[in-house]
Structure 1
Amino acid sequence: MPVDFPPWDRVYVSFRRWRDRLPVREFHDRLRTRVRERLGRDTEPSEGVIDSQSVKANAVVGLDSRGFDGGKPVNGRKRPVVVDALGLLLGVMVTAADTGDRIAAQVLRAQAADAHHRLALVWADAGHSGPLIEYCLATLGLVLAIVRRSDDMRGFVVRPKRWIVERFFDHLMHTRHLARDFERRTTSAEAMVYWSMTLFMTRRLAWPGPG
């Protein structure tokens, strides 16, 4: 804790109050609306991108909310997110790293569709294919479009739609507290993601000019 801050327990009480009463999410969403308006977009997005990021967890993270992602490989937690076409956060859900993408995505998409009624199209990678496509269309009214890697691609190639969410993850990794998961509770970890994007959008709105 910085030396000019109050004792950590007082800071945590304030953080917990803001986290549980949802003003963190409310402030974030208002700023996202301002950024979209400034860039000449509708206040509510119609298109999004979904992906997940696995990060190492600190020792304080219990076994009940941590796991091993064999694809990375990372022992810690996973952050499935939905962002809009500008790379602004629409929803985040923190889970154990061994939680399957399809499982987390089903819950996260339902939350995003409920909060953003104009959302009609969501781009995803091949890990979200299969029955999830039919579920999204039939249950949520969302078209889930899969961005596939073509057979003639070689090496590390990021498709255009994926750049949007990769830039978002890059921002999170430049937020020191989010380079690793330090939170005991997943709700606290989610709140930290919203705080990071709140700071990002505040700085963006402070820049001169239209963008």
Structure 2
Amino acid sequence: MTERRVYPSDLKDDQWELIEPLLLEWRAAQAEGGEPTTDLREVVNAILYVARTGIAWRYLPHDLPPHTTVYGYFQAWETDGTAEEIHDTLRVQLRKKKGRRILPTAAVIDAQSVKASPNAPDATQGWDGGKKVKGRKRHIATDALGLLLVLIITAAGVQDTNGGRLVADELAAKLPSVTKAWVDAGYKAKMIAGRCASTTCRASPTGSPTRCAVQ
């Protein structure tokens, strides 16, 4: 069999070595019957190809695994938390490499409205009057390095503050080590901080982000 050409989105050897143990452990837990034949590295390469190019699954090149197979793995990893486990493991490794604590203590909360695909159901979309965008809104929290901690998707019409509450709830449940967060002037900081059991908030000088400190 002729070896396929390399795509720019393909994993490098050292990158694959970081996540291979997690996926092999996942496969062992799923094993039923015969020997698996699907190359997990190629599945990840196919997922990265879709993520980088934005194509529909069915347009995957023929030298990658079948799109139905790739999507099946993608859906399984998203559903059972494997994808999130891989992400969080890589974040921990990078924080350690940068000399940071494994668990972050500070976060930055922000939101961005983006135009949705024409194929997206109308029920999942909304209108952001401020940004003049019809689509969806990404509500995120990152650590001080800019590494993702929480991601929540809503219709674009959801106010930043309301989305920020959802992010704060997720942060409190997933990463209770986070004791402070910064938000910009588009948020009502006290309303977000109020999602936690005990909080103090104070506004920073004009033009600077607001700092919400969770006690």
Relative to the length of structure 2, the TM-score reads 0.64
Q: Deviations over 1:29-76 (max 9, x none)?
A: 111111111111110111110000111111111011111111111111
Matched, 1:15 2:15: no
| Residues 49 and 144 (structure 1), Cα distance of their counterparts in 2 relative to 1, 3 Å cut | farther
- RMSD of aligned Cα (Å): 2.1
Q: Following the alignment from structure 2 to structure 1, what is the Cα–Cα distance between the partners of residues 194 and 209?
A: 25
1:84 paired residue number: 143
Cα distance in 2 for residues equivalent to 1:129 and 1:112: 17
In the other structure, the counterpart of 1:125 is 184
**For 2:131, what is the secondary structure of its paired residue?**
coil
Query: Unpaired segments of 5 or more residues in structure 1?
Result: 151-158, 162-211
Aligned to 2:122: 63
Q: List per-residue Cα deviations over 1:124-170 (Å, max 9, x = no partner).
A: 0122126515514xx344555655644xxxxxxxx589xxxxxxxxx
Partners in 2 of 1:144 and 1:15 — Cα distance?
A: 40
Letter in 1 for 2:116: A
Query: CA contact under 8 A between 1:52 and 1:80: conserved in structure 2?
Result: yes
Counterpart CA distance in 1 for 2:204 and 2:125 is: 28
Change (3 A) 1:4 1:117: same
Q: 8 Å contact 1:122–1:145 — kept in the other structure?
A: no
Matched, 1:24 2:83: yes
The partner residue of 2:102 within 37, 43, 53 is 43
Kept after mapping to 1: 8 A contact 2:106/2:143: yes
**Does 2:111 align with 1:52?**
yes
C-alpha separation in 2, matches of 1:119 and 1:104? 18
Change (3 A) 1:34 1:145: farther
TM-score normalised over the length of structure 1 = 0.65
For residues 171-210 of structure 1, the C-alpha deviation after alignment (integer angstroms, 9 at most, x for no partner) is xxxxxxxxxxxxxxxxxxxxxxxxxxxxxxxxxxxxxxxx
| Sequence identity (%) | 35
Structure with greater contact order relative to length (CA < 8 Å, sep ≥ 6): 1
* Aligned residue in 1 for 2:162: 103
Which protein has the bigger helix share?
1
Matched residue count: 151
The amino acid of 1:8's aligned partner reads H
